[in-house]
Structure 1
Amino acid sequence: MRVVQGRTPVADVDELLAFLDTVAAEHDCVVQAFDPRYVVDEAHLHVAVDRAARAWRRDDAIARDPGVEVLLYAAGRRQISRALELGVPEGTGVPVVAVVVSEFPDEPFETDDREAAAAAALAAEWSEDEVLETATDEARVCEFFDVCEAERAATDASLSELVRERVSLLVVEK
């Protein structure tokens, strides 16, 4: 799994999705992009990819598309319409973070040339920026993942740990 971060103008989300689909098809990889305001860190994406791959290996996937499955797990939601809130919005200089996975679902954390080429194709279109370090919106994350102040006060777990717990619990939330 590789994480690609940057900024790009997004005049039309459908055009961005078509670009992501083209990169995925050309390099035989799973490619999924996110609005980094909702992503707490790379560990959040790692757990989402891991759980999505496990669901596919067990033939227990929620979605028919592996990228959508990763999105569902990253959002901790079973409903695609609710998970799409984590998608990239339209705008100028929009921060974006994407995961690229070549050996999905069997070895999602093994890297290879296909994955490197797909990541390079994304990076070539986006201006370089470490958006995960600056774009995460803690209030937005707490609201989206239903992390209340009382829960945060009752534990010494970080926000990342609380979000990863919700990602992991998606499978039991029926």
Structure 2
Amino acid sequence: MPPARIVAERARIDDLDAFLDALAVVGEETGAVVQAFDADLVVSEAHLRRAVRLAARSIARGEAVARDPAVEVLLYAAGCRQIDRALGLGVSEGSGRVVVAVADFGDVPGADRPAADLDAAVAAVSRSLDTRTEPGGSRAEDGFDFDEAVVRSFYDVSDRELAATAGGLTDVVLERVALLDVEK
């Protein structure tokens, strides 16, 4: 599994393109794969770590849908192969909680990435988010207080499916991420 770090913050994004460009620069300067998510749709740190691991495996096997490893991570986190749909898991303009996965795909065959400086990447992502931090924002501790209704809608989780699951909504989402390989 590629080393990965998770950064969470409450932030205000006034210009989405500028924010995404800043994250792209972090990736270019540090070699890291950097992907931002709407924290209301991320159920746990394990959700993103599993997406990173499975995206790396898909790339190593030559089965990736996306050319960009960050987009492949997004697809796995969304539990779908359609990039347009997966983009709904990303950040948008306005105020909200943002979670950013930062990973080192340098040792992943086929990723064509240099070894990443994760410490520098996390620091740069944190600085980028700090410039947009809202009062009361915090890292990690509030990053996974997801909105159940929003998650159920995004992942199309029915009452019936939830009732049939031994675990809860988090388990259903983690299963969707894992089952994406089966759908290929």
How many residues end up aligned between the 2 structures?
Answer: 168
The answer on 1:138 being equivalent to 2:148 is: yes
Q: Any unmatched runs of 5+ in structure 2?
A: 110-114
The answer on 1:3 being equivalent to 2:13 is: no
Residue in structure 2 matching 1:117, options 114, 117, 120: 120
| 1:12 Cα deviation after fit | 1.6
**What's the TM-score, normalizing by structure 2?**
0.85
Maintained 8 Å contact 1:53/1:104: no
| 1:105 Cα deviation after fit | 5.6
Aligned partners of 1:76, 1:173: CA distance in 2, in Å?
10
Maintained 8 Å contact 1:56/1:105: no
| 1:8 Cα deviation after fit | 2.4
Maintained 8 Å contact 2:41/2:151: yes
Aligned partners of 1:72, 1:95: CA distance in 2, in Å?
20
Q: Any unmatched runs of 5+ in structure 1?
A: none
In the TM superposition, 1:95-174 aligns within 5 A as 95-104=97-106, 106=108, 114-126=117-129, 127=133, 128-129=138-139, 130-134=141-145, 136-174=146-184
CA deviation string 1:113-151 (max 9, x = no partner): 7101100111122233333243x1111111111211112
Please state whether the residue corresponding to 1:132 is helix, strand or coil: coil
For the aligned residue pairs, the C-alpha RMSD in angstroms reads: 1.8
Aligned partners of 1:160, 1:105: CA distance in 2, in Å?
29
User: 1:12: which partner in 2?
Assistant: 15
CA deviation string 1:7-30 (max 9, x = no partner): 222112111110010000000010
| 1:104 Cα deviation after fit | 4.7
User: Which protein has the bigger helix share?
Assistant: 1
Maintained 8 Å contact 1:72/1:78: yes
CA deviation string 1:60-93 (max 9, x = no partner): 101010000000000011111100001101013x
**Identity across the alignment (%):** 48
